[in-house]
């Protein structure tokens, strides 16, 4: 009998894919090795997915929680519409994957679950979900999600796995 592992969405940089703004990755061996025993990964990088290059200017969230913009930190180039177009198409594709949950890269302006928001002058104004994480959790409100760093605690990791498995 062939057993198919349930699918788990994950920020591509956590799998060691060089998709970050600086050309690097954020391979998280602890999380990937533990979860890889139980799940098939579906890698997602909204920034490269929507056509941003590697390397690229760093991004940050600006505005307020109700009207977020994702802009480059140098030159303040607004990438919000580019990201929103990609999300409209790719959220539909992710629905077809039948994901059981998602592991997001913390602090990422697209994927974090508690990301800093700034005003146009660079002043901190609060925290919110990253622009992709916000859209994803609205489209999949019943899926269990976590940030990578929250899973570094053994009890939290085991609890996350237990909640995802049938």
Tell me what pLDDT residue 2 has: 63
Question: Which CATH number is correct for 7-55+81-110+129-164, 3.15.10, 1.10.3470, 3.40.50, 2.70.98?
Answer: 3.40.50
Query: Nearest Cα to 53, choosing from 25, 24, 20, 84?
Result: 20
Tell me what pLDDT residue 1 has: 55
Residues 89-123, buried b or exposed e (16+ Cβ, 10 A)?
ebeeebeeeebbbbbbbbbbbbbbbebebbeeeee
What parts of the chain have a pLDDT lower than 70? 1-2
Provide the residue ranges of all domains of the chain, joining segments of one domain with +.
7-55+81-110+129-164
Contact in structure between 129 and 61 (CB atoms under 8 Å): no
Q: Per residue in 121-134, pLDDT tens?
A: 889 999 999 999 99
Tell me what pLDDT residue 120 has: 85
Residue 78 neighbours by CB distance under 10 Å: 12
Look up residue 149 and give its two tokens: 């760093």
Contact in structure between 163 and 150 (CB atoms under 8 Å): no
Tell me what pLDDT residue 39 has: 97
pTM: 0.95
Distance in angstroms (rounded) separating the CA atoms of residues 103 and 9? 6
Phi-psi bin for 44: left (phi > 0), alpha (psi -120 to 50), beta?
beta
Look up residue 152 and give its two tokens: 């570094």
């Amino acid at each position: 009998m062939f057993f198919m592992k349930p699918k788990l969405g994950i920020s591509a940089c956590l799998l060691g894919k060089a998709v970050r703004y600086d050309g690097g990755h954020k391979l998280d061996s602890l999380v990937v090795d533990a979860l890889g025993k139980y799940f098939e990964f579906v890698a997602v990088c909204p920034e490269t997915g929507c056509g941003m290059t590697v390397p690229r200017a760093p991004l940050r969230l600006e505005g307020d929680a109700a009207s977020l913009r994702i802009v480059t930190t140098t030159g303040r180039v607004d990438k919000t519409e580019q990201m929103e177009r990609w999300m409209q198409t790719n959220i539909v594709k992710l629905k077809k994957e039948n994901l059981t949950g998602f592991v997001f890269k913390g602090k990422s302006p697209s994927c974090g679950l508690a990301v800093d928001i700034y005003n146009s002058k660079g002043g901190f104004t609060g925290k919110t979900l990253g622009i992709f994480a916000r859209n994803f959790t609205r489209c999949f409100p019943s899926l269990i999600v976590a940030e990578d760093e929250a899973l570094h605690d053994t009890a939290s990791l085991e609890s996350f796995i237990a909640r995802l498995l049938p």
